[in-house]
Amino acid sequence: MTDVIVVGAGPAGSAAALLAARDGLDVVLLERGPFPGSKNAYGGVVYGRVLDEVLPNWWDEVPVQRWVTRRSTMVLTEGRALTVDFRSTDWGKAPYNGCTTFRADFDSWLAGKAVEAGAQLVTSTVATGLVVEGDRVVGVRTDRSDGDLRAPLVIAADGVKSFLAKEAVLLPRTQAKHLTLGVKEVLSLPREVIDERFGVRGNEGVDVEILGCTRGIPGGGFVYTNRDSISVGVVVSVEHLAAAKVRAEDLVADLKAHPAVAPWVEGADLKEYTAHLIPEGGYDHLPPLSTPGMLVTGDAAGLCLAAGIWLEGVNFAIGSGLEAGRHARRIIETRDEKPYRAALEETFVLQDHKRLRGAPGVVLSERVQQQYPGLIADLVQGLFTVTNPTAKPGVVKLLRAAAKNNGVKLRHLMTDGLRGGKVFR
Ligand SMILES: Cc1cc2nc3c(=O)[nH]c(=O)nc-3n(C[C@H](O)[C@H](O)[C@H](O)COP(=O)(O)OP(=O)(O)OC[C@H]3O[C@@H](n4cnc5c(N)ncnc54)[C@H](O)[C@@H]3O)c2cc1C
């Protein structure tokens, strides 16, 4: 008799299956791909702190490409770039901060942990719908010849388009304004060339998040280093992309051609191209996270932060999956799903979403996306351009000129500064 059916062996599903199986429950983990991660696309960095408690010393086993020891934030305008670059030797040793890893490797590894704990992984199997009795979900329909599977608890971890959450009327029909589109190229380069170009050694790696590279379409870009390839991509608002009639792959081409990025990718061969949707509704637009007999986790529940300078989803998927798995037994016994949401409110998953609920509104605002990159570049260029024989202009004069040149009023700078301070406090 199956106790829990987990649909989707991405990070959320495997984390849920892991803890439910460790609790002695009979768990079936369904995955539509031939193996976990085979269908999954993302940028490239996993922040694994969330695993410390459940998989101690996970860093000794995780299929890492490189440990992120440099985190840069770049602001680009055509022909100019300002980079704030942080480097830490702490991040290059245990317990580490984040690593680049491929999803085929990472998802297979995490699903393997659930299997070791006793979960049964069933691949190449699509959950095609829910089995519902009265107001309760009591199982899923599958595309296998042996058909439906029944259990007192279903955990939907089926990603951003979650047909299961939609069928249970937890998710509305897909709304473009709450989605971003991520597109990514993996470009192969010899390992020593990457080390040289990015100033890293051994298994050190770089995470670069970029603003001002999307032709004013709300979003951002990224560059991550793998062992012998680099990942370059953009994440942009679906609604604005469609309105601008721009192709996402052209934005990636722009990014690769920018003088600050072109030397990194020169001579690289395209190895892989992927595109995937990302939920970006934020805390104020979270769907209900459960219905009788079913919990929703990870991207299926909209638990992702992808607002320009962050691109984190795997850690939130694992965090929410762990809570679903941890509470599975109690939920089955009491037929009360509420403890799941309550537990999530106590963890970083909903606390971060709550604290940063206003962040997308600031980072993706028209001024931050379209005017501030130019303003910042003008200001910095003014500061560092040697104007002899004319005396150096003061910062206030430069700021006024940069604001005027980019159509920004000083009062907007003040209100945006205050708003930013409030959101990120
Ligand atoms: C371009 C891009 C860049 C990103 N970069 C990062 C990054 O660098 N770091 C980061 O932390 N996050 C990043 N994210 C976000 C991250 O990928 C997601 O938040 C994360 O993958 C969510 O995990 P999940 O388990 O909820 O869903 P998913 O990873 O989407 O897994 C869902 C699983 O369910 C399976 N499935 C779906 N439907 C069914 C079905 N009906 N039956 C059976 N199986 C099914 C799928 O095959 C899949 O294995 C990025 C996303 C994109 C698109």
How do residues 372-381 score in pLDDT, each as one tens digit? Answer: 999 999 999 9
Report CA(41)–ligand 1 centroid distance (Å): 7
What are the angstrom distances between the C-alpha of 7 and each of 27, 150, 301? 11, 12, 13
Nearest protein Cα to ligand 1, atom 34: 8
Question: Which has the minimum average pLDDT: 126-130, 303-307, 387-391?
Answer: 303-307
- Mean pLDDT calculated for residue range 17-44: 96
- The pLDDT tens digits for 164-216 are 998 887 777 667 788 899 999 999 999 999 999 999 999 999 999 999 999 99
Rounded CA-CA distance 41/230 in Å is: 15
- Which three-class secondary structure state does DSSP give residue 196? helix
Please give the span between the terminal C-alpha atoms of the chain, in angstroms, as a whole number.
49
Report CA(103)–ligand 1 centroid distance (Å): 9
- The pLDDT tens digits for 340-367 are 999 999 999 999 999 888 888 888 888 9
- The pLDDT tens digits for 110-147 are 999 999 999 999 999 999 999 999 999 999 999 998 88
Q: Which residues have C-beta within 8 Å of that of residue 257, sequence separation ≥ 6?
A: none
Report CA(305)–ligand 1 centroid distance (Å): 13
Nearest protein Cα to ligand 1, atom 12: 313
Tokens 């604001």 belong to residue: 403
Q: Which of 231, 304, 316, 320 for mutating ligand 1's site (highest number of atoms within 8 Å of CB)? A: 304
Nearest protein Cα to ligand 1, atom 21: 314
| CA 125 to ligand 1: nearest atom | 43
Q: Which residues have C-beta within 8 Å of that of residue 164, sequence separation ≥ 6?
A: 7, 127, 129, 130, 140, 154, 156, 158, 294, 296, 300
- Is the pLDDT score of 308 beyond 60? no
Report CA(413)–ligand 1 centroid distance (Å): 37
- Mean pLDDT calculated for residue range 151-164: 95
Rounded CA-CA distance 370/247 in Å is: 18
The DSSP bridge pattern shows strands 66-77 and 80-87 to be antiparallel
Output the pLDDT for position 174: 65
What are residue 294's DSSP bridge partners?
154, 291
Give the rounded percent of residues in the chain with a pLDDT score beyond 70. 99
DSSP state, 305?
B
Q: Which of the listed CATH numbers 3.40.50.720, 3.30.450.20, 3.30.565.10, 3.30.9.90 matches domain 177-279?
A: 3.30.9.90
Q: Which of 120, 255, 314 for mutating ligand 1's site (highest number of atoms within 8 Å of CB)? A: 314
What are the angstrom distances between the C-alpha of 408 and each of 116, 198, 250, 326? 57, 34, 28, 50
Q: Which residues have C-beta within 8 Å of that of residue 231, sequence separation ≥ 6?
A: 43, 44, 100, 184, 185, 186, 187, 222, 223, 224
Rounded CA-CA distance 289/322 in Å is: 14
Report CA(98)–ligand 1 centroid distance (Å): 17
What are residue 181's DSSP bridge partners?
236, 277
When pLDDT is cut at 50, 70 and 90, the band that residue 249 belongs to is very high
Residues touching ligand 1 (Cβ under 6 Å) are: 7-13, 30-33, 39-46, 126-127, 157-159, 163, 182, 184, 233, 235, 276, 278, 298-300, 304, 311-315, 317
Q: Are 138 and 150 in contact (CB under 8 A)?
A: yes
| CA 181 to ligand 1: nearest atom | 53
- Mean pLDDT calculated for residue range 73-84: 96
Q: Which of 7, 42, 249, 320 for mutating ligand 1's site (highest number of atoms within 8 Å of CB)? A: 42
* Burial class of residue 26 (count of CB atoms within 10 Å of its CB; 0-12, 13-18, 19+): middle
The DSSP bridge pattern shows strands 27-30 and 4-7 to be parallel
What are the angstrom distances between the C-alpha of 90 and each of 96, 196, 206? 7, 21, 14
- Which three-class secondary structure state does DSSP give residue 161? coil
Nearest protein Cα to ligand 1, atom 26: 298
Q: Is the dihedral of CA 255, 226, 49, 315 positive or negative?
A: positive
Tokens 């955990």 belong to residue: 155
The closest alpha carbon to 228, from 193, 184, 280, 183, belongs to 193
Report CA(323)–ligand 1 centroid distance (Å): 18
Nearest protein Cα to ligand 1, atom 5: 43
Question: Which has the minimum average pLDDT: 150-159, 175-184, 267-276, 396-405?
Answer: 175-184
Report CA(163)–ligand 1 centroid distance (Å): 14
- The pLDDT tens digits for 31-46 are 999 999 998 889 899 9
Rounded CA-CA distance 48/88 in Å is: 17
- Is the pLDDT score of 309 beyond 70? no
- Is the pLDDT score of 78 beyond 80? yes
Report CA(405)–ligand 1 centroid distance (Å): 41
Domain range list for the chain? 4-65+101-172+287-358, 177-279, 365-423
Nearest protein Cα to ligand 1, atom 37: 158
Q: Which of 311, 315, 318, 352 for mutating ligand 1's site (highest number of atoms within 8 Å of CB)? A: 311
When pLDDT is cut at 50, 70 and 90, the band that residue 307 belongs to is low
CATH H-level, domain 4-65+101-172+287-358: superfamily = FAD/NAD(P)-binding domain (3.50.50.60)
| CA 12 to ligand 1: nearest atom | 25
Nearest protein Cα to ligand 1, atom 49: 10
